[in-house]
Amino acid sequence: RVEDAIELINDVTSKSISQKKLKTEGIELRWSKSKVILDTISFVEEGLVERDVEARLVVLGMISEEHVLFIGPPGTSKSEIGRRLSQLCGGPFFQRLFTRFTTPEEIFGPLSLRALENDEYVRCTDGYLPTATVAFLDEIFKANSAILNTLLTILNERKFDNGGRRVPCPLKCVIGASNELPESEELDALLDRFLLRSYVTSVSDDGLMEILSNKFSSGELPDVDPNISDKLDDVVTEISTSLGGVSMGEDVCVLIRDLRAFLREELDAYVSDRRLVKASRLLRASAASHGRDRVDLVDCLLLQHVLWQIPEQRDAIREWLWDNLTPGKSDDSAEQTNFLLQGLASESLEMAKITMGDVTGEAGARRSDLDAIDSIRKELEEIERLTRQRSDELDRHIKLLNGLTDHLWIGQDEAHAAKQHLLPLAEAASAAVGRSLADTVSLKVAISSDDIDNDLRASAIEILTNQDGDDVVFTERELQMSLKEAKRQYKGEHLRKWKNARKEL
């Protein structure tokens, strides 16, 4: 008879969980203009070897209207990517190689002689940076003090002071390139203006073989859709107008806060408030370009291209992100839930024994005892609500991880590596949360259902809540995790049981 009661509880629990399960179909990539972005990325990357990340960052910079910086040795396609960008912009393109002797006239335009006759200091800006839509500035950190302040204003505010008037600039994106990072502190502000950054290295040996057999000769560009600039303008406009409707949840905000603390305390790296605000806008643009109305944690993988100060920090940021990207990782919610459930299970068992299984009062249970049971039930309902929310978050996260190779802004190699690392962690967390949810709903059903005989209720609760705590079942995926991954996922007694389960394999 107790077995029948357990079967009834499990059946009700299973139906309750499945009926309220979040639907995650179609959340990976469903924006109507995604093909335009993919075609643009393909054009920038075509014929180039091992430049998948740089091609995506350039296009992301264009559609989010942020600037991109390439650092690396000469001859690594930095200029070539900038040259291809000129074919994508729907307006004037400006390109300059900076030297220590570059003058303001070369960047902002010559002075108007006619205006000087009228005692006005006005530049003729047509064909120069103030009137450009997209620009490529090579060796940008060689900019001297005569250029720097005006350049900073154009990059940050899209404004140019000309003849006593501040005029708007149509600038969408600047690609800066340099063989090295700036050594002078006065150039730190210029470095901070470039939100997206990539350290461009020479190709691998296998990549070199591909370059040598590449069908494109020097100076030859792949064909481009003649309407691409108009299509990209539509993309920029639509994303810009949709950003206000893209939310950033608490989990993403907490992740960014903790990442800044990690950078400050572990890497001694300063990240400005302006940079973090711009990073949040970039993440919203990433979500919008995938047709989503909220930023997901997978979008935060882009932060490895945003927050480093020196190239060596990028790998440390990426590893930190991989370790902290699983929903619920930062707040130990699973451990807290299990702790609360253990207490409520003990209380439920005690009350079932006191009332002889009567949870309605029909068999003479005292009002105070029924109130205590009702209080337990309400606590379980709140735990169920929070656990369902966490379970839904993990289901969504897993769905996005499975489609990570289709993410517009994450390179293919990075997507495969991140998926391989993050998916087992997410699935293990999902299994743990699923167990907590099942335990919560089962306990709620056990102290609520009229279909359970009163004289069996206490025995059923004792079996369901597993008071001895020995029967913990791990999934095959959980048992395949490394010890390092398990330590991230489990704590205390749960970790000990995982180790014992591994030994039994």
List the Cα angle 461/466/468 in 5-degree steps: 130
pLDDT above 60 (res 17):
yes
- Determine what percent of the chain is predicted with pLDDT higher than 90: 43
**3-state helix vs strand vs coil in the chain, percent to 5:** 60, 10, 35
Q: Which residues contact 268 (CB under 8 A, 6 or more apart)?
A: none
Q: What gap in Å lies between CA 140 and CA 477, rounded to an integer?
A: 49
pLDDT band at 491 (very low <50, low <70, confident <90, very high): low
Task: Name the helix (H) or strand (E) containing 35.
Answer: helix 34-45
- What is the structure's pLDDT at 24? 56
pLDDT band at 220 (very low <50, low <70, confident <90, very high): low
User: Rounded to whole angstroms, what are the CA distances from 235 to 32, 51, 402?
Assistant: 10, 23, 26
Which residue, 221, 102, 205, is CA-closest to 151?
102
**Phi, psi (deg, nearest 5) at residue 135:** -140, 150
Q: What gap in Å lies between CA 237 and CA 32, rounded to an integer?
A: 14
Q: Are 81 and 58 in contact (CB under 8 A)?
A: yes
- What is the structure's pLDDT at 468? 44
- What is the structure's pLDDT at 297? 96
Question: pTM of the full predicted structure?
Answer: 0.84
Q: 3-class DSSP state for residue 262? A: helix
Q: Are 387 and 337 in contact (CB under 8 A)?
A: yes
Dihedral sign from CA coordinates of 219, 222, 225, 230: negative
Q: What gap in Å lies between CA 66 and CA 63, rounded to an integer?
A: 8
- The 10s digit of each residue's pLDDT in 269-284 is 999 999 999 999 999 9
pLDDT above 80 (res 355):
yes
Q: Are 258 and 303 in contact (CB under 8 A)?
A: no
- What is the structure's pLDDT at 477? 67
* Alpha carbon 136 to chain centroid, angstroms: 28
- What is the structure's pLDDT at 193? 92
Residues 460-476 have a mean pLDDT of 65
Residues 201-230 have a mean pLDDT of 74
